[in-house]
């Protein structure tokens, strides 16, 4: 529990006798919330414990797999132990793809192995692999403009060089090499595609992630090279001779499997007020242990909701959604949206961008809530959080319920400068978590939640422009 | 060639007419050497080109393998192209060990894959692997004191936590977990051993390296876990239940194979003066591309010797030894010592500690050379190089010839703070080379060589204490 708050409460009760010369007033709501915030910033261990537990006792937990099922059992036990109410699993079925063997080797004009990982939904090369000439596209747009059929029997190589940005916007700009590059290459007849990993590090750890093929387009083998390997391949290509690669990727589609969301609640005192949903995702990619993506998010929202309870019962119910199968297609978020579409929600938040400090806050709240907005901005200012004019968007797992019910949203934007060094790589492990930064997230979240969960006015989004 | 020097030479020749009012003196030897140094610091590209070429066109080149043979062909062509004399290969035979499949998975009380690499000379687990209980030793001394037979049927796990040091001394202190840990565990009856990688990074890239078993001790399977995996395993152990690992390592001994040294020379003008040998090693471990270990060393000594030639013919012959098979047992250095034991040498230097800046200089030179020593210290001072009182030791590949002939030695000590982040890992790739730091090495080397190669006095080591 909250040692700092306990001390303050003890101290202030001493001073509440009005006849004392130095009597202090009862603590205001703002002061109580500031206390919750500062306590989390100084001393929260709940978030770290959740990340430590998931990464140590479960590790990788890809959507639809047995490891994700173990993670649900773990999550239910942890959320119950933290004292949340209505802890439960909501299952659903989903098609599941799993990684096989993966090797890549340059066979001409030099001989050298490279480090590769299949992208989610990649086809298999078969055990024999594919030995084919590389066709080089420095950026994704070069692939888009390649003539149809020009890639027949070749391996396309797209080296789309992403750089780090604080707000993560480079993912949207450079991610299409992964998101749609394989589909484009397949339509142009390529035998396979390899991309420079969508990432910003220099380690021999490829960045996996889903890719998608349009209906009617037969999937091709699709892999991500580690960034040092992609740059090595570029240097080989620059020498001017044809470069050949032997590529072996043997993933499989294993059919419909069970996945599920884990839900838990802090029950509100007024059942007439629509609820607040806060989300992270429980699944992770299979290469790392899913520390920053997204055990951190589950740690942050779990810790913030736990600290919120120490203030007493909030007016609105706060529901935690530890979503399943986000990485492989947002199956959990969609299932939540469908199953809860007729249950009144007011507001949504999500934490799914690592464990870097919250540096900005974005809102999607109508003007009727402007006083609330000002309170939250003031409460987050000591944490160095900048209010911006960007409209909050929520996140993948709250996307379906937001779309269904037009919810108010706040985004606590995390610093993503280092996020894409680790995203979807084997390197996403516990040691990458900075405790002080994780605590700052919990502090920002508990203060925000404390205002929102006790606000009885409307939490509508801004009217559509 | 040396643009800066050419300009200076042109300018000074203008001023050499004695009757001019502002006549400048002819450049002193010190000034010429300072020019070589400064030019290398500003503009050397030779060292980087060597590293780029070896890592791109050859890549991993383990001693005794076909890749190392390709590296020798590459090296001969490069050293001839740089204009060195007597470029040649000296072959020898050596026993060769090669990596196979390697996987590790925790099977109880949790289920999670770990990243492992076999250590050189590891035995094979066979294709079936070994599934056994882990016995944990926080440091190597704990393993040393375990009772004989206490490890029967178990996998020893030694987690000896190395930290970075500028002078690399932590390798000597923490390396024994790798160097002798497997031998100790084998003698105590262990089925296998895994160690925390001997390294200082936090990436999922294990540090391989040789281990050695005493004659009469049957080798056991021996692997290094990446550091995030070793810490994860420690956290599992801390939960107090027995931890089991399924370990599969299938390396093979492939018998006697051909390896070789590549030699090249800058011929001296006085054949009566004993020669100088400068060494790096051409082979590398198989996981990375051998950029810092030790293409950098070959780049540094190659570039320094090339720049030395621009000063005109030195008095002493400078021989470059690009040694073979250092990593797997210093086979090249020993072969050089044996084959050249009767050829008079005066002095040795070696570059084999990455591409970090030279921060210190150590000598092993008798007092008769104290003036030379002062000149070199002065020439290196502008590069920020600290003269120390430690006696120079040379290095692995010049060890045999030093021992045979009692040579003078200078060590240009490189900053090793980041070296063990990369050492023997897949991450030892070109992108880790900082060009400015590599150039500073070349500058320090060319200045040192220029004094030594033109010194006609004795270059004896200090008398034994």
* SS3 annotation, B267-309: CCCCCCCCEEEEEEECCCCCCCCCHHHHHHHHHHHHHHHHHHH
pLDDT at B133: 98
Contact A232 B56 (CB under 8 A): yes
Q: Which residues of B295-321 are buried (b: 16+ CB within 10 A; e: fewer)?
A: bbbbbbbbbbbbbbbebeebebbbbbb
Of the candidates B56, B203, B231, the beta carbon closest to that of A205 is on B203
pLDDT at B463: 85
List CB contacts of B186: < 8 A, sequence separation 6 or more.
Answer: B193, B213, B217, B218, B219, B220
Mean pLDDT (whole number) for B139-160: 95
d(CA A419, CA A450): 28
pLDDT at A24: 65
Of the candidates B56, B426, B429, the beta carbon closest to that of A236 is on B56
Query: Which tens digits make up the pLDDT trace of B311-349?
Result: 999 999 999 999 999 999 999 999 999 999 999 999 999
What is the overall mean pLDDT for chain B?
Answer: 94
pLDDT at B353: 98
Of the candidates B57, B205, B232, the beta carbon closest to that of A204 is on B205
- pLDDT beyond 90 at B24: no
Cβ atoms of A230 and A159 closer than 8 Å:
yes
Query: Which tens digits make up the pLDDT trace of B210-259?
Result: 999 999 999 999 999 999 999 999 999 999 999 999 999 999 999 999 99
Q: Which residues of A touch B295 (CB under 8 A)?
A: none
Strand bridging mode B244-249 / B102-108: antiparallel
Q: Which residues of A touch B57 (CB under 8 A)?
A: 110, 236, 239
- pLDDT beyond 80 at B15: no
pLDDT at A14: 37
pLDDT at B12: 39
List CB contacts of A411: < 8 A, sequence separation 6 or more.
Answer: A349, A350, A361, A362, A392, A393, A394, A395
pLDDT at B23: 57
In a mutational test of the B interface, the residue from A61, A112, A248, A291 whose CB has the highest number of chain B CBs within 10 Å is A112
Q: How confident is the model at residue B22 (pLDDT cuts 50, 70, 90)?
A: low
Cβ atoms of B157 and B191 closer than 8 Å:
no
Q: Which residues of B touch A98 (CB under 8 A)?
A: none
Contact B204 A288 (CB under 8 A): yes
Query: Which tens digits make up the pLDDT trace of B293-314?
Result: 999 999 999 999 999 999 999 9
Q: Which residues of A touch B427 (CB under 8 A)?
A: 202-204, 228
Of the candidates B59, B426, B432, the beta carbon closest to that of A112 is on B59
Query: Which residue did the predictor score with more confidence, B18 or A29?
Result: A29
d(CA B258, CA A422): 41
List CB contacts of B465: < 8 A, sequence separation 6 or more.
Answer: none
- Chain A nearest C-alpha distance from B41 (Å): 25
**Any idea which of A393-407, B3-17, B75-89, B188-202 has the lowest mean pLDDT?**
B3-17
- Chain A nearest C-alpha distance from B326 (Å): 21
Chain B residues with CB-CB distance to A under 8 A? Answer: 52, 55-60, 67, 70, 110-113, 115, 202-205, 227-228, 231-232, 235-236, 239, 288-289, 425-427, 429-432
Q: How confident is the model at residue B25 (pLDDT cuts 50, 70, 90)?
A: confident
Element (H, E) at A292: none
pLDDT at A25: 75
Burial class (CB in 10 A: 0-12, 13-18, 19+), B216: exposed
Cβ atoms of A277 and A321 closer than 8 Å:
yes
Closest CA in chain A for residue B287: A113
How many beta-carbon pairs below 8 A join chains A and B?
96
Q: Which residues of B touch A241 (CB under 8 A)?
A: none
C-beta atoms surrounding A57 within 10 Å: 18
At A120 the three-state DSSP class reads: strand
In a mutational test of the B interface, the residue from A49, A116, A288, A426 whose CB has the highest number of chain B CBs within 10 Å is A426
Closest CA in chain A for residue B56: A232
Look up the pTM and report it: 0.93
Tokens 């200078």 belong to which residue? Answer: B410
Cβ atoms of A24 and A12 closer than 8 Å:
yes
Chain Cα centroid distance, residue A33: 27
The answer to whether ipTM exceeds 0.90 is yes
Closest CA in chain B for residue A237: B56
pLDDT at A149: 87
Query: Which tens digits make up the pLDDT trace of B251-267?
Result: 999 999 999 999 999 99
At B430 the three-state DSSP class reads: helix
pLDDT at B465: 54
C-beta atoms surrounding A252 within 10 Å: 11
Chain A residues with CB-CB distance to B under 8 A? Answer: 52, 55-60, 67, 70, 110-113, 115, 202-205, 227-228, 231-232, 235-236, 239, 288-289, 425-427, 429-432
pLDDT at A219: 98
| pLDDT tens-place values along chain A, 465 residues long | 333 333 333 333 333 444 445 556 789 999 999 999 999 999 999 999 999 999 999 999 999 999 999 999 999 999 999 999 999 999 999 999 999 999 999 999 999 999 999 999 999 999 999 999 999 999 999 999 999 889 999 999 999 899 999 999 999 999 999 999 999 999 999 999 999 999 999 999 999 999 999 999 999 999 999 999 999 999 999 999 999 999 999 999 999 999 999 999 999 999 999 999 999 999 999 999 999 999 999 999 999 999 999 999 999 999 999 999 999 999 999 999 999 999 999 999 999 999 999 999 999 999 999 999 999 999 999 999 999 988 999 999 999 999 999 999 999 999 999 999 999 999 999 999 999 999 999 999 999 999 999 999 999 899 875
Contact A60 B113 (CB under 8 A): yes
Quick one: tokens of B165? 């040091």
């Amino acid at each position: 529990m909250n040692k700092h708050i306990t001390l303050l409460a003890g101290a202030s009760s001493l001073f509440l006798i009005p006849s004392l010369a130095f009597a202090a007033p009862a603590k205001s709501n703002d002061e109580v919330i500031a206390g919750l915030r500062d306590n989390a910033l100084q001393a929260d261990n709940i978030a770290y414990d959740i990340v430590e537990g998931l990464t140590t006792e479960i590790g990788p937990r890809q959507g639809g797999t047995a490891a994700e099922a173990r993670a649900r059992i773990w999550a239910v036990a942890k959320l119950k132990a933290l004292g949340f109410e209505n802890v439960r699993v909501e299952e659903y079925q989903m098609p599941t793809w799993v990684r096989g063997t993966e090797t890549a080797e340059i066979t001409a004009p030099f001989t050298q192995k490279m480090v590769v990982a299949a992208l989610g939904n990649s086809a298999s090369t078969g055990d024999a692999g594919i030995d084919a000439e590389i066709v080089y596209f420095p950026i994704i747009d070069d692939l888009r403009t390649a003539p149809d059929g020009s890639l027949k029997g070749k391996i396309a190589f797209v080296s789309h060089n992403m750089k780090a940005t604080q707000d993560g916007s480079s993912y949207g700009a450079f991610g299409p090499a992964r998101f749609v590059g394989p589909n484009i290459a397949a339509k142009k007849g390529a035998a396979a595609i390899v991309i420079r990993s969508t990432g910003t590090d220099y380690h021999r750890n490829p960045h996996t992630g889903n890719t998608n093929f349009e209906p009617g387009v037969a999937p091709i083998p699709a892999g991500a090279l580690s960034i040092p390997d992609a740059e090595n391949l570029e240097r080989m290509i620059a020498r001017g001779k044809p470069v050949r690669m032997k590529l072996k990727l043997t993933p499989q589609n294993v059919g419909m499997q069970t996945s599920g969301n884990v839900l838990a609640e802090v029950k509100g005192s007024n059942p007439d007020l629509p609820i607040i949903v806060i989300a992270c995702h429980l699944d992770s990619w299979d290469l790392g242990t899913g520390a920053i993506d997204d055990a951190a998010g589950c740690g942050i929202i779990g810790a913030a909701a736990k600290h919120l309870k120490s203030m007493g019962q909030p007016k609105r119910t706060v529901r935690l959604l530890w979503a399943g199968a986000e990485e492989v297609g947002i199956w959990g978020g969609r299932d939540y949206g469908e199953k809860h579409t007729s249950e009144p929600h007011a507001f949504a938040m999500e934490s799914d961008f690592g464990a870097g400090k919250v540096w900005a806050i974005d809102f999607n709240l109508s003007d009727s809530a402007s006083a609330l907005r000002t309170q939250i901005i003031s409460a987050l200012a000591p944490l160095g959080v900048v209010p911006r004019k960007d409209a909050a968007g929520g996140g993948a797992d709250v996307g379906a319920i937001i779309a269904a019910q037009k919810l108010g949203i706040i985004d606590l934007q995390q610093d993503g400068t280092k996020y894409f060094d680790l995203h979807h790589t084997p390197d996403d492990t516990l040691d990458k978590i900075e405790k002080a930064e994780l605590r700052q997230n919990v502090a920002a979240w508990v203060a925000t939640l404390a205002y929102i969960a006790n606000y009885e006015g409307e939490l509508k989004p801004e009217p559509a422009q």
